[in-house]
Amino acid sequence: MRLKDIQKKFHQELDAIYATEEVNSFFYTLIDVFYKVSRIDLAMDTEWSIEDDRVIQKALKQLKKHKPIQYIIGETEFYGLTFKVDKNVLIPRPETEELVEWILKHNNENDKINILDIGTGSGCIAISLAKYLKNANVYALDVSKPALQVAKKNAELNAVDVTFIEADILTTKNVEDLKFDIIVSNPPYVREKEQTLMKPNVLENEPHLALFVKDDNALQFYKAITAFSVENLVDQGKLLFEINEFLGNEMIRLLQKHEFSNIELKQDIFRKDRMIKGVKN
Instruction: Assess whether 133 and 265 both reside in one domain.
Output: yes
Instruction: Assess whether 97 and 218 both reside in one domain.
Output: yes
Give the domain CATH number at 273: 3.40.50.150
- Whole-number mean pLDDT of the chain? 95
Instruction: Assess whether 117 and 169 both reside in one domain.
Output: yes
Condensed to tens digits (0 to 9), the pLDDT of residues 83-134 reads 999 999 999 999 999 999 999 999 988 889 999 999 999 999 999 999 999 9
Instruction: Assess whether 26 and 107 both reside in one domain.
Output: no
Instruction: Assess whether 256 and 164 both reside in one domain.
Output: yes
In the chain, how many domains are there?
2
Per the domain annotation, does 237 fall within a domain? yes
Q: Are strands 273-280 and 260-267 parallel, antiparallel or unpaired?
A: antiparallel
Per the domain annotation, does 128 fall within a domain? yes
Condensed to tens digits (0 to 9), the pLDDT of residues 228-262 reads 999 999 999 999 999 999 999 999 999 999 999 99
Q: Which domain holds residue 27?
A: 3-65
Instruction: Assess whether 137 and 56 both reside in one domain.
Output: no
CA dist., res. 17 & res. 23, Å (int):
9
